[in-house]
Amino acid sequence: MDGIVEPVPVRMIDSPCVNICVMDDATGLCTGCARTIDEIAGWTSGSAAWRDAVMADLPGRVGSRS
């Protein structure tokens, strides 16, 4: 198999990131996407179920920020 490269399927991961990456010290949330630093850091390695749960929680976080 020397010299043969097998294609690996690429699966895009949905992300709430809007490229406004500034952490709010008062809330501990990103001002752009409303995730915590731990959520941001673990996004690509977290399970799909975990990411779905975080995504479902985000609208409530955004609404509670002032």
pLDDT at 12: 84
pLDDT at 66: 56
- Give ∠ CA 36-30-22 in degrees, rounded to 5: 130
30 forms bridges with which residues in the sheet? 23
Rounded to a whole number, what is the largest CA-CA distance in the chain? Answer: 58
- 13-49: pLDDT as tens digits: 899 999 999 999 999 999 999 999 999 999 999 999 9
The mean pLDDT of 47-55, rounded to a whole number, is 96
pLDDT at 64: 66
